[in-house]
């Protein structure tokens, strides 16, 4: 049986080793562009042969710019706060023009959405590997899943608080993914509860969507402790454990 704290350490260790290697990619892209320029200078034949590569390099350059913007925004949102950070400051930190930022992203909210999507993709890739090994009752499995999330998100608490706050921003585009619009998190929780129905420790007639919403609401609400009291992952996990226990009283099978 894998204990919850062991799982948290396992996931966080793996995630902490996840690095987009931005500088390496930028260097590769720049070298690629230099090679294309040399080919162009060699004559018309070299240009004809390399034209497809040139277009590909432009695409790579755009991707490198996009990644610099995301890296800059991630650091500024965490150090200065989401509301205090301007698009101009993001562009300055990324060493790009403001126009380049808006070529890729429609708003600051969309930048935040993509920053979080990239972080959460890494988390859920690891969860896909770990969750099948969880043991215990459905409430215990839920506690483990949320403990993993707390351990991960408290590494950049201010960033996650901005992610939660964005859920109430009515100006975001339909494609943005603030907290609550993250389908992977909902699906992980839903699958856990549905498996509980199959195992028999969750009532067969529960409203799955309602239970998932209640758990997500409890999870987000516990982050007020991080904002107001600088609570750590362990403290918030303990509070969430009690919330799960209370909710579990409502979704356990009713005795015949």
* C-alpha neighbours within 13 Å on the C-beta side of residue 236: 26
Q: What is the mean pLDDT of residues 9-20?
A: 42
Report the CATH number that the domain containing residue 184 is assigned in CATH: 1.10.357.10
* pLDDT for 89 beyond 50: yes
pTM: 0.73
Answer whether residue 57 is part of any domain.
no
Residues in the chain: 256
Answer whether residue 220 is part of any domain.
yes
Answer whether residue 73 is part of any domain.
no
pLDDT value of residue 9: 54
* pLDDT for 239 beyond 90: yes
Measured distance CA(172)–CA(167) in Å, rounded: 9
pLDDT value of residue 49: 45
Answer whether residue 187 is part of any domain.
yes
Measured distance CA(48)–CA(55) in Å, rounded: 12
pLDDT value of residue 30: 37
Number of structural domains (the chain) is 1
Q: Which residues contact 88 (CB under 8 A, 6 or more apart)?
A: 98
Distances (CA, A) of 252 to 28, 191, 200, 236: 55, 16, 9, 24
* pLDDT for 85 beyond 70: yes
Other beta carbons less than 10 A from residue 157's beta carbon: 19
Answer whether residue 31 is part of any domain.
no
What token pair was written down for 126?
């690891």
What token pair was written down for 59?
């695409």
What ranges in the chain are assigned the alpha helix state H? 4-16, 22-41, 44-79, 87-94, 98-104, 108-130, 138-153, 157-165, 183-199, 208-222, 224-229, 233-251
Answer whether residue 22 is part of any domain.
no
pLDDT value of residue 55: 52
pLDDT value of residue 142: 96
Q: What is the mean pLDDT of residues 234-241?
A: 96
Q: What pLDDT digit, counting tens, does each position of 162-205 carry?
A: 989 888 888 777 777 888 888 888 999 999 999 999 999 999 99
φ and ψ at 167, to 5 degrees? -65, -20
Domain limits for position 215: 4-14+110-251
Q: What percent of the chain has pLDDT over 90?
A: 47
Answer whether residue 60 is part of any domain.
no
Q: What pLDDT digit, counting tens, does each position of 135-166 carry?
A: 899 999 999 999 999 999 999 999 999 989 88
Q: What pLDDT digit, counting tens, does each position of 37-54 carry?
A: 344 344 444 434 455 555
What token pair was written down for 169?
């921003």
Answer whether residue 144 is part of any domain.
yes
pLDDT value of residue 59: 67
φ and ψ at 2, to 5 degrees? -90, 120
Residue 57: band (very low, low, confident or very high) from pLDDT cuts 50, 70, 90: low
pLDDT value of residue 21: 35
């Amino acid at each position: 049986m894998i204990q919850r704290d062991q799982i948290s350490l396992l996931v966080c260790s793996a995630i902490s080793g996840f690095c987009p290697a931005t500088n390496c990619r930028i260097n590769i892209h720049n070298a690629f562009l230099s090679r294309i320029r040399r080919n162009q200078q060699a004559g018309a034949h070299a240009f004809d042969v390399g034209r497809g590569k040139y277009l590909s390099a432009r695409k790579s350059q755009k991707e490198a710019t996009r990644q610099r913007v995301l890296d800059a925004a991630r650091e500024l949102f965490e150090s200065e706060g989401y509301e205090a950070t301007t698009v101009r400051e993001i562009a300055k930190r990324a060493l790009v023009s403001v126009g380049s930022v808006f070529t890729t992203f429609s708003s600051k909210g969309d930048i935040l959405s993509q920053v979080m999507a990239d972080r959460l993709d890494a988390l859920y890739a690891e969860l896909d590997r770990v969750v099948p090994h969880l043991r215990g009752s459905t409430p215990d499995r839920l506690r483990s899943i949320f403990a993993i999330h707390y351990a991960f998100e408290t590494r950049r608490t201010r960033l996650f608080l901005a992610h939660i706050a964005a859920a109430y921003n009515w100006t975001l585009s339909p494609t943005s993914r603030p907290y609550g619009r993250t389908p992977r998190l909902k699906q992980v929780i839903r699958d856990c509860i549905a498996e509980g129905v199959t195992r028999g420790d969750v009532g067969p007639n529960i409203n799955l969507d309602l239970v998932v919403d209640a758990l997500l609401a409890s999870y987000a609400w516990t982050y007020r402790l991080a904002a107001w009291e600088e609570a750590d992952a362990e403290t918030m996990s303990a509070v969430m454990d009690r919330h799960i226990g209370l909710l579990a009283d409502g979704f356990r099978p009713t005795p015949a």
